[in-house]
């Protein structure tokens, strides 16, 4: 089996080589690292190494939308090999660390950038479904790939995103006892529109909930999703890895261990 972790974050003091080595030891061969701020996008882009199955996205997380001062940095980074997408971008009305109006403005310009470049958009949507959906409809060119990362909505919302062309990504929350809505939503998601992620270092799956997450835990998420979908883990790993390569327009290296 070969898994692809389609959403993780790397802190400055992380040992990324050790992190990926531990993950490869349990069958995780693809890594999609997310940039979220002016401070970390340069470092995130520098991690991209297609020969090792490591890819990056760069963008501004809605928490720091107020820091936006232009696209030049992001345009430059998106020209680098292995920088495969625009993200992590979106809306988060749960905390409102940046004013909602500013979040919407910045989200819109990043969606337009993804449309212009033909790069996938990696979208964060928390407590902002209606506005997020409307901006995607208004600002993302039809046919531009987009990922709803860390999907936590209802089955109806899953179906509405799918109708717009989304790929939906599941993480460790699918293993949480109270996350019934997430597991119910899996029934609405065709396997060819499904991705897996850890969102590490956050949201570690059971039985590691409450501890620091890491890409090596991705197979635990995959095992639960496979069970819910009535698939073998081998079938799910193959399908979701193929999905990741397709939507990111990348290839899994033949030797990653």
Domains in the chain: ranges and CATH: 3-248 (3.20.20.140)
pLDDT digits (tens, 9 = 90+) for 50-104: 999 999 999 999 999 999 999 999 999 999 999 999 999 999 999 999 999 999 9
Return the SS3 of 205: coil
Q: Average model confidence (pLDDT) for the chain?
A: 96
HSE-CB of 245 using CA atoms within 13 angstroms: 15
* Amino acid 237: pLDDT: 97
* Amino acid 255: pLDDT: 54
Q: How confident is the model at residue 256 (pLDDT cuts 50, 70, 90)?
A: low
**E strand segments, the chain:** 3-8, 28-34, 54-58, 83-92, 121-126, 146-148, 167-170, 194-196
pLDDT digits (tens, 9 = 90+) for 95-150: 999 999 999 999 999 999 999 999 999 999 999 999 999 999 999 999 999 999 99
Q: How confident is the model at residue 253 (pLDDT cuts 50, 70, 90)?
A: confident
Residue 228 pLDDT > 70, yes or no?
yes
* Amino acid 178: pLDDT: 93
Structure tokens given for 180: 């019934």
Count CB-CB contacts under 10 A for residue 18.
10
Percent of the chain with pLDDT over 70: 98
* Amino acid 116: pLDDT: 98
């Amino acid at each position: 089996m070969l898994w692809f972790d389609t959403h993780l974050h790397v802190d400055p003091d992380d040992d990324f080589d050790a992190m990926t080595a531990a993950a490869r030891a349990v069958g995780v061969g693809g890594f999609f690292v997310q940039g979220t701020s002016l401070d970390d996008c340069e470092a995130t882009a520098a991690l991209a190494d297609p020969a090792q199955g490591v890819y990056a996205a760069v963008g501004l997380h809605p928490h720091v939308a107020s820091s936006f001062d232009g696209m030049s940095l992001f345009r430059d980074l998106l020209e680098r090999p292995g920088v495969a997408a625009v993200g992590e971008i979106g809306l988060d009305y749960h905390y409102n660390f940046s004013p909602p109006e500013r979040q919407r403005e910045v989200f819109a310009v990043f969606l337009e950038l993804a449309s212009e470049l033909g790069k996938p958009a990696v979208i964060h949507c928390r407590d902002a479904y209606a506005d997020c959906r409307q901006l995607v409809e208004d600002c993302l060119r039809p046919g531009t790939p987009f990922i709803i990362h860390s999907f936590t909505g209802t089955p109806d919302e899953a179906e509405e995103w799918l109708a717009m062309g989304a790929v939906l990504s599941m993480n460790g929350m699918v293993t949480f006892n109270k996350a019934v809505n997430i597991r119910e939503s899996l029934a609405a998601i065709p396997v060819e529109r499904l991705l897996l992620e850890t969102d590490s270092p956050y949201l570690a799956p059971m039985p590691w909930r409450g501890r620091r997450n890491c890409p090596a835990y991705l197979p635990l998420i995959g095992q639960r999703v496979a069970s819910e979908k009535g698939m073998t883990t081998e079938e799910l790993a193959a399908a979701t890895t193929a999905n990741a390569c397709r939507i990111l327009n990348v290839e899994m290296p033949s030797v990653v261990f």
